[in-house]
Amino acid sequence: MSTTTETIHVSAVLPAKPKAVYDAWIDGGKHAAMTGAAATSDPRVLGRFTAWDGYIEGSHLELASPKRIVQSWRSSEFPANASDSRLIVLLEREGEGTRITVVHTDIPAGQGAQYESGWKTHYFKPMNRYFAALARAKKKR
């Protein structure tokens, strides 16, 4: 039996509290600020969202502030006949920061590696810069 989908797990520690990370993930303006690309979000269960200038779209399936976000998720690179993937974002306090773990399931076969790299490069790196800059600005006040 061939596998038609893939699952990836990626994790990082960010210099912010879980609530700040949660809020930035589900708020379109904050999401855009933290990633550097346009985003929209209707921050309620079944609300729609877009990210990365429309490259990503989906809906919020579960919102459990500040610990867990579950979304239906697809990129413009998904085959037309592919179902949406499922994204689970887990936020846990770790030291002075937050461990973010992304569990991305039901990815079309052959695309897992590119999304694993994408989460690290296009989310975790800019998120780290964004929250570090907010922390620096807060200390200056």
The residue extents of the domains of the chain are: 5-140
What does DSSP say about strands 40-41 and 5-14: parallel, antiparallel, or unpaired?
Answer: unpaired
The confidence score (pLDDT) of residue 2 equals: 45
Q: Enter the CATH code of domain 5-140.
A: 3.30.530.20
Interior angle at CA 42, CA 89 and CA 101, nearest 5: 5
Enter the pTM of the model. 0.94
The confidence score (pLDDT) of residue 3 equals: 58
Residues of the chain with pLDDT under 70: 1-3
The confidence score (pLDDT) of residue 1 equals: 36
